[in-house]
Structure 1
């Protein structure tokens, strides 16, 4: 039934979009049909898949690195008060630096390279992961850890079977919000300083006021992200919560 409800909601959005576009009748607000025709054209040309693949690769790399770093420091800060106190100021600064500033600085310092682009995205994402995971580490039930210590459970088993399962929901929450944040930043990074990817293509279409192509490329990327959310992140979240 959930899949049926999603289909109905998507169909409703399509109908509302098509109706509004017909009523407004403006070149800057294409109909849903026109956008999907544009999407089909770019798919047939092959350029959309090429740029989509590049953007998804950047999203995957930055997502993985940011999650690993963020989870590591989030657990440390949530588990040890001294480390939390020492790094809290840096965390606040990281959370409040605008993404645009980080992107520009990375491009100036490291040049208009993929390394600079990926670094800018990682720097913007890591603090948000740390904050979420830190809160999870703070909520860990210490009595379970003490029981494991009494029964001389190995540190590896204690970590994998007692500690981590309690913070899995927080890790998954940071992953889901992180994915939505990362792909947006990646598009900005590509728009400002790369010669490939969805963001770069959007900047090109903007110069020609090709709104149909802009919405077609955006729709393709949103569809992929929705598929990842539905068939990857959501099942992982359910599996992570099985211990409860």
Structure 2
């Protein structure tokens, strides 16, 4: 009987070690720069972080950005999934809407943001609409490919057994689309929060992007990093606690 002597490292341990390695590289880069106004070390951010946390500014602006991200994410995923499913299942609809999709995929995010602010005004609605319009084409493209890859035999079975639309969506369509929805969600949340920061940078009076804009004008690199890293930590928690477990659950049937 052969006994393996190889030691396996858990994914969580690898993640922690990887982040520690990135932090060590940051410390080395800060030491080589030797100028905290250009690149402060991660330890130098502790005091301003505690200060912003204590006065409530960090939590307030973090909350504003999270709300915008959630709204834009929900709208983009809902509308993009519906549109991608229709385009993937109907060749006629796809022929009509594919040119629109290509145009919006190649339209710069900054252009849409500026146009929404000019047409709607510097409002919360304009900010969320701008982010949503930027992400819908990407979600639609991913879901369309998923709809095209669906098994036609399962559709035939659903018709034979005269399944209702609701049961067909729950038991036939969505399980097949689940890996594509997961891929769109993981890429979507990463892109959306970056666009939200640009939207806040250009035309909002609250949020992480607004604070980064403020401290950019003051040339305060430490505070820019405090606010940026705070939101990155929130997004990492979403990735680790929500998206990755969901992805493992979706892929579970492949290991059966």
Into which bin does the TM-score normalised by the smaller protein fall?
over 0.9
Q: Which residue of 2 aligns with 1:10?
A: 19
For the residues of structure 2 that align with 1:239 and 1:36, how far apart are their CA atoms? 37
For the residues of structure 2 that align with 1:118 and 1:134, how far apart are their CA atoms? 24
- 1:177 and 2:187 aligned: yes
1:36 aligns with one of 26, 46, 51: 46
Q: Which residue of 2 aligns with 1:153?
A: 163
Q: Which residue of 1 aligns with 2:138?
A: 128
**Which consecutive unaligned segments of at least 5 residues does structure 2 have?**
1-9
Residues paired across the two proteins, number: 244
Query: What is the Cα deviation at residue 167 of structure 1?
Result: 1.0
For the residues of structure 2 that align with 1:211 and 1:91, how far apart are their CA atoms? 39
Q: Which residue of 1 aligns with 2:33?
A: 24
Query: What is the Cα deviation at residue 243 of structure 1?
Result: 4.1
- 1:193 and 2:203 aligned: yes
Query: What is the Cα deviation at residue 234 of structure 1?
Result: 1.3
2:148 aligns with one of 138, 144, 147: 138
For the residues of structure 2 that align with 1:39 and 1:25, how far apart are their CA atoms? 21
For the residues of structure 2 that align with 1:155 and 1:54, how far apart are their CA atoms? 38
Q: Which residue of 2 aligns with 1:89?
A: 99
TM-score computed with the length of structure 1 as normaliser: 0.97
For 1:197-238, what per-residue CA distance to the aligned partner results, in whole angstroms no more than 9, with x for missing partners?
Answer: 000000100011000000011110000000001101111222
For the residues of structure 1 that align with 2:81 and 2:253, how far apart are their CA atoms? 20
1:215 aligns with one of 192, 216, 225: 225
Range moving further from structure 2, 35-44 or 167-176 = 35-44
Query: What is the Cα deviation at residue 32 of structure 1?
Result: 1.1
Residues 74, 131 of structure 1: 8 Å contact kept:
yes
For 1:129-174, what per-residue CA distance to the aligned partner results, in whole angstroms no more than 9, with x for missing partners?
Answer: 0000000000001012212323343332222112211111101100
Q: Which residue of 2 aligns with 1:230?
A: 240
**Which consecutive unaligned segments of at least 5 residues does structure 1 have?**
none
Query: What is the Cα deviation at residue 38 of structure 1?
Result: 2.2
Query: What is the Cα deviation at residue 178 of structure 1?
Result: 0.5
Root-mean-square deviation over aligned CA pairs: 1.2
Query: What is the Cα deviation at residue 36 of structure 1?
Result: 3.1
For the residues of structure 2 that align with 1:217 and 1:149, how far apart are their CA atoms? 53
Query: What is the Cα deviation at residue 39 of structure 1?
Result: 1.8
Query: What is the Cα deviation at residue 22 of structure 1?
Result: 1.1
Residues 165, 243 of structure 1: 8 Å contact kept:
no
